[in-house]
Structure 1
Amino acid sequence: MIETAHLWLFFVMVLGVVLLPGLDMAYVMASALIGGQRSGLLATAGVIAGGACHVLLGALGVMAVLKVVPAAFNLMLLAGALYIAWIGWTLLRSRIAFDASPSTRVRSGAGTFGRGMATCLLNPKAYLFMLAVFPQFLKPDYGPLWLQALVLWIIIAVCQAAVYGGMALAGEGVRAWLGAKPAANLLLARVVGSMLLVVAAVTAWEGWHLS
């Protein structure tokens, strides 16, 4: 029980973080609304792949190096915050964000996957989690560190797949509804854009002061 009890705590913490509205969730939602279920699931896969990179960096100690070198860590946080702000500003300026018509130009599968991965890799919330929480669950007493990191990543991937994958599957119905209601479509674009601008400001400020 000692070797596995901490995994339940990690699961609860990861699930709570994934459920919080943020850049990954907004991108998966937007992809599903624009391109349907396939795009939403590809975006989810990209986010999961980005999570694997975070775990690898954390296991190799790169996160600790970023913490020791505040300038590099602050630069990473700033880049992520600017990326979030750019997406939010784009949505605020758009006339219509989620068009369900067949003529909608949909990003390629590789492009959707790649941007989902980039979204995760530039997410300041993920870096703060990997710095503050992840190292606490890597204990030499529990066995090989690489195996522990793999198990922790599986937990993260399962949470991301369940939450973001569920949003992607539900996006088709919401997409059709928004296509019939232009006013609601535009309002959603403004709400999501404003949310991302707030997230960008808050994560940049908190990350800077926690580093």
Structure 2
Amino acid sequence: MPDAHQLLLFIAAGWLLNLTPGPDVLFIVTTSLRSGAKAGIVAGLGITAGCFVHVIAAALGVSALLAASATAFAALKWLGAAYLLWMGFKLLLARQPRELHDLQALAEARPPVPLRAVFLGGFWTNVLNPKVAIFFLAFVPQFIAPDTSDKAGVFLLLGTLFNINSVPVNSGWALAAAWMARREAVQRGMRWLDRAAGVMFVAFGLRLALADNPTH
């Protein structure tokens, strides 16, 4: 294991990275704005579960395969891009209430969002992004000493620590977004927030679709 200084540096770097807006944060915030804090926290837990898939894959060498194989990287890249584009267009084409009372009536009439669907949405948002796999492969080994005997085991421990530390950050995003959603000004602008989120998801999808294999 890294020494105390390296471990603290790893934790601090992980928190900063989790605070950086990206598709995961956008999914959490969008879910909380539309469905409340509980749904947003569940979305964050789904994203964390997806991160565990990447950590285990990286420890087993699957991420190295993605980094080395243009075909494997491209296949996962296009799946992830298609999923982000689908989410973006879904938000862009959603019914947009024009008045605050319309928004409130829509919220009251809308059936509760199944938390299982929210969890799986966060999970697939993360799993289908090969750049997350490459990130773990590039980031975590920097904190593993070259003379470590069980590198895969230490990788799993550090990856687990990174994912556990992401839970309070993701939950913070969810709670902040849910608090914002209760403000009247935010409610009045919800249709524009949906459209902005849709545009951002489409942009993330296009960015992922145009991403090069890391070996190129």
TM-score bracket for this pair, using the shorter chain length: 0.7 to 0.9
What's the CA shift for 1:180?
A: 7.1
| Corresponding residue of 2:81 | 81
SS in 2 for 1:21: coil
Match of 1:119 among 125, 130, 139: 125
Question: Which AA in structure 2 matches 1:28?
Answer: I
Q: Is the 8 A contact 2:45 2:119 kept in 1?
A: yes
Superposed CA deviations along residues 70-99 of structure 1, whole A, max 9, x for unmatched, are: 1111111121112111111111122339x5
Match of 2:110 among 104, 107, 131: 104
Does residue 156 of structure 1 match 2:170? no
The residue that corresponds to 2:70 in the other structure is 70
Q: CA deviation at 1:175?
A: 2.1
Give the SS at the match of 2:108: coil
Cα distance change of structure 1 residues 180 and 12 upon mapping to structure 2, 3 Å threshold: closer
Show the counterpart of 2:25: 25
Structure 2 residue matching 1:206: 3-state secondary structure: coil
Report what 1:43 is aligned to.
Answer: 43
> Residue 176 of structure 1: which of 182, 186, 194 is its match?
182
Pairs aligned (count): 209
Normalised by the length of structure 2, the TM-score is 0.82
Q: Does 1:187 align with 2:192?
A: yes
Residue in structure 1 matched with residue 100 of structure 2 by the alignment = none
Moved more, 25-34 or 140-149: 140-149
Structure 1 residues not aligned, in runs of 5+: none
Q: CA RMSD in A?
A: 2.6
Whole-Å Cα distance in 1 between the matches of residues 178 and 132 of structure 2? 28
Q: Residue type matched to 1:52 in 2?
A: F
Over alpha carbons, which structure has the higher Rg?
Answer: 2
Q: Residue 141 of structure 1: which of 141, 144, 147 is its match? A: 147
Sequence identity percentage: 29
| TM-score normalised by structure 1 residue count | 0.84
| Structure-2 change in CA distance of 1:141 and 1:187 (3 Å) | same
Moved more, 172-181 or 110-119: 172-181
Match of 2:211 in 1: 206
Opposite residue 161 of structure 2, the aligned amino acid is I
Q: 1:189 deviation in Å?
A: 1.0
The answer to whether the 8 A contact 2:80-2:129 is kept is: yes
User: What is the alpha-carbon distance in structure 2 between the residues aligned to residue 180 and residue 63 of structure 1?
Assistant: 40
Q: Distance in 1 between matches of 2:72 and 2:66?
A: 6
Kept in 1, the 8 Å contact 2:25–2:170? The answer is yes
Aligned AA (1:165)? S
